[in-house]
Structure 1
Amino acid sequence: MFQFIYELLKTPSAFRGRPWAYGRNQFLHGYAIGGLPVYLWPEGLPIFVASYLLWEQIQLIWYNGEMSDGMEDFAHFMTIALAVYLHQPALMLMQLLFLAAGILFRYEEKWGENDKG
């Protein structure tokens, strides 16, 4: 298990040209990493946020992560974490819009349709 987590840490990815891998990744950032822990322990939200930001900083500094990828990951994480914490399911719809936009962008990137400048 620890080896798997370590491998995830060492391999940040924005999943360029891979729309479904991106969708799965961001869905998990939102629900498995953001929403589930907050659902199980709402008072832990500050700890989860600090831990997640540390994770992203490690990826950025030591493993050639991209600032934009880390920000996008954090946005998905935080949107669902707050939706659960604040009992605001409408925020989950917002995350789905972010998710759809990211998936579409990667399809356009894959097919070369986002070079319209």
Structure 2
Amino acid sequence: MIGLLRSPSAYEKEPGKYLLNQIGHTYLVGFAPVFVCGWQAIPFIAMAYAFWEFLQLCWFDAKLSDCLEDLGHVMTGAFVAMFPAAAIPHLVLVAAGVQWRRENAG
């Protein structure tokens, strides 16, 4: 976990890594706890993950845009656990991020 904390990355030139990163944020960090514990986990996830991103921003030279995007994916995952149809627009947004990286990878 310390290695992840110390290496924030938006994977600006790596669409495949971006895809895995954001799907992981969404479904492992956001979706899974809410699916298992219920909506009551949402405030804890929001505060804990915002703190994680705050640490990356302050001490490990993360970009604010990456921190906000990661937090957004985590929170989207939490809401997908409650409202599964929300996965559709989420996957469209992830596809847009992948495509942007494909276009700008050169």
Q: After superposition, give the CA deviation of every residue in 1:1-49 in whole Å (9 maximum; x if it has no partner).
A: xxxx000000000001100000000000000000001111122221111
Structure index of larger Rg: 1
TM-score, normalised on structure 1? 0.86
Q: CA deviation at 1:88?
A: 1.4
Amino acid corresponding to residue 101 of structure 2 in structure 1: R
Deviation at 1:81, TM superposition (A): 0.5
Note the 1:56-67 alignment, pairs <5 A: 56-67=53-64
Aligned length: 105
Counterpart position of 1:102: 97
Normalised TM-score (structure 2)? 0.95
Bigger relative contact order, structure 1 or 2 (CA pairs below 8 A, ≥6 apart): 2
The whole-number CA distance in structure 2 between the counterparts of 1:9 and 1:41 is 25
Q: Secondary structure at the match of 2:104?
A: helix
Q: Aligned-residue CA RMSD in angstroms? A: 0.8
Structure 1 segments of 4+ aligned residues over 6 angstroms from their partners = none
Q: Indicate the percent of aligned positions where both proteins have the same amino acid.
A: 35
Q: Secondary structure at the match of 1:70?
A: helix
